[in-house]
């Protein structure tokens, strides 16, 4: 165990998750010997009209399935309308665990990987013509899941139950953190674009040379467009343990075959 805890010694990881979602991941990194720099770029807030969102959840209780795109969606939906809910699906393991913990019911989730594409591959979502589905998500959600369900002739509604609010940081603070970090865990393409916008011109080279760990190929493409030098790391699953594993495997001096 001591060898495991020392494996990130000397490395500094910038974690750009919202503050309320960063604690468990930061604790894992620190237990593995790493140093954490917290830089929340967005905070998660309720939608501006929660009464209207709650009404839409209530009217959708007769739907065939609710599909949740994040743990945030689970938490904020529960604040609007307590279970029981219709049959449930989740885009990944973390979201599925949040739903199971809340409702005590089985949750349809990807059999391999995480994300909308993985969920759409599930056998239970192939023959869904005429079924009614509600996607429970945040504002500015990606259209892939909705488009995939509609292509299979399902009736689909999308409901935002939370929103992201940008957090301002002083440019000199951003530059200081970038100068210290070896890795950065970036939770979304929006967060990466926000970090790039906050970074002062003199520190852009530090940002673009940073080794990123990101949740999806979509964010990898965002990094490419923004001019990042290194190919971002993709964990096998979008979980705290998988992020730690990808950092351990790609730390300087470590053989990928070890």
State pLDDT tens for residues 62-90: 999 999 999 999 999 999 999 999 999 99
pTM: 0.86
Rounded to an integer, the average pLDDT of 17-45 is 96
Beta strand segments in the chain, E:
12-15, 35-38, 42-46, 65-68, 88-90, 107-108, 132-138, 155-166, 183-185, 211-213
Compute the distance between CA of residue 119 and CA of residue 107 in angstroms, rounded to an integer. 12
Across the chain, mean pLDDT equals 93
Whether the link from the prior residue into 168 is cis, omega within 30° of 0, is no
pLDDT at position 4: 41
The first and second tokens of residue 110, run together, are 């990807």
What span, in angstroms and rounded, lies between the C-alpha atoms of 20 and 108?
26
Residue range 25-31: mean pLDDT, rounded: 97
Q: Give the CATH number of domain 45-165; options: 3.10.129.10, 3.40.50.10090, 3.40.640.10, 3.40.50.2000.
A: 3.40.50.10090
Distance from the first to the final alpha carbon of the chain: 17
pLDDT, tens digit, for every residue of 151-187?
Answer: 999 999 999 999 999 999 999 999 999 999 999 999 9
Please, which residues have CB within 8 angstroms of residue 49's CB and are 6 or more apart in sequence? none
DSSP state of 123: G
2-41+169-250 sits in which CATH class? alpha beta
pLDDT band of residue 112 (cuts 50, 70, 90) is confident
Distance CA 58, CA 222 (A): 37
Which regions of the chain carry the CATH code 3.40.50.10090?
Answer: 2-41+169-250, 45-165
What pLDDT is recorded for position 253? Answer: 61
């Amino acid at each position: 165990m001591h060898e495991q805890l020392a494996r990130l010694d000397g490395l500094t990881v910038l974690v750009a998750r919202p503050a309320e979602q960063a604690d468990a991941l930061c604790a894992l990194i620190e237990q593995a010997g790493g140093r954490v720099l917290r830089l929340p770029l967005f905070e998660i807030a309720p939608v501006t009209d929660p009464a209207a969102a709650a009404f839409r959840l209530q009217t959708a209780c007769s739907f065939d399935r609710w599909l949740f795109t994040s743990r945030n969606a689970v938490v904020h939906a529960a604040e609007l309308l307590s279970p029981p809910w219709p049959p449930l699906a989740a885009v990944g393991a973390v979201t599925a665990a949040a739903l199971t913990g809340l409702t005590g019911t089985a949750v349809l989730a990807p059999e391999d990987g995480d994300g909308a594409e993985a969920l759409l591959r599930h056998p239970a979502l192939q023959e869904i013509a005429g079924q009614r589905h509600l996607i429970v998500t945040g504002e500015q959600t990606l259209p892939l899941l909705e488009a995939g369900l509609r292509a299979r002739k399902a009736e689909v509604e999308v409901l935002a139950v939370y929103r992201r609010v940008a957090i301002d940081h002083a440019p000199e603070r951003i530059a200081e953190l970038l100068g210290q970090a070896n890795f950065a865990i970036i939770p979304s393409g929006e967060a990466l674009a926000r970090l790039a916008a906050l970074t002062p011109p003199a520190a852009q080279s530090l940002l673009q040379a940073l080794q990123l760990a990101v949740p999806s190929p979509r964010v990898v493409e965002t990094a490419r467009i923004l001019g990042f030098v290194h190919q971002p790391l993709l964990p096998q699953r979008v979980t705290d343990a998988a992020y730690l594993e990808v950092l351990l495997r790609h730390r300087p001096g470590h053989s990928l075959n070890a």
